[in-house]
Amino acid sequence: MSEQKISFIKGGHGDIAVHDWGHDRPRFLALLVHGYGEHLGRYQYVARTLAAQGARVFGPDHLGHGLSQGERVLIEDYDAVVDDVHRVVEHFQQLHPDVPLVVIGHSMGGMIATRYTQRYREGIRALVLSGPLIGERTLISDLLDLPAIPNEPLDTATLSRDPAVGEAYQADPLVWHGPFKRPTLRAMQQILAKINAGPGFRRAAYAVDTRR
Average pLDDT, the chain: 92
Number of domains in the chain: 1
Strand partners of residue 21? 4, 57
Q: Is residue 169 part of a domain?
A: yes
Higher per-residue confidence, 38 vs 3? 38
182-196 vs 78-95: helix crossing angle, rounded to 10: 70
Read off the amino acid at residue 177: H
Q: Which helix (H) or strand (E) holds 127?
A: strand 126-130
Q: Is residue 212 part of a domain?
A: no
pLDDT in tens, 156-203: 888 888 888 889 999 999 999 999 999 999 999 999 999 999 887 665
Contact 76, 187 (CB under 8 A): yes
| pLDDT for res 211 | 46
Q: Is residue 210 part of a domain?
A: no
Q: Is residue 156 part of a domain?
A: yes
* CA distances in angstroms from 52 to 22, 59, 60, 101, 110, listed in the order given: 11, 17, 20, 16, 23
Q: What's the CA gap between 142 and 67, in Å, rounded? A: 30
Q: Is residue 203 part of a domain?
A: no
Closest of 107, 16, 125 to residue 60, by C-alpha:
16
pLDDT at 205 over 80: no
Q: Indicate which CATH number applies to the domain containing 75.
A: 3.40.50.1820
Q: What's the CA gap between 99 and 125, in Å, rounded? A: 10
| pLDDT for res 202 | 60
Mean pLDDT is lowest, of 6-20, 104-118, 194-208, for 194-208
Q: Is residue 114 part of a domain?
A: yes
pLDDT level of residue 35 (50, 70, 90 thresholds): very high
Q: Is residue 209 part of a domain?
A: no
Q: Which helix (H) or strand (E) holds 130?
A: strand 126-130
Domain that holds residue 129: 4-196
Q: What's the CA gap between 56 and 21, in Å, rounded? A: 6
Q: Is residue 118 part of a domain?
A: yes
pLDDT in tens, 126-154: 999 999 999 888 999 999 999 999 998 78
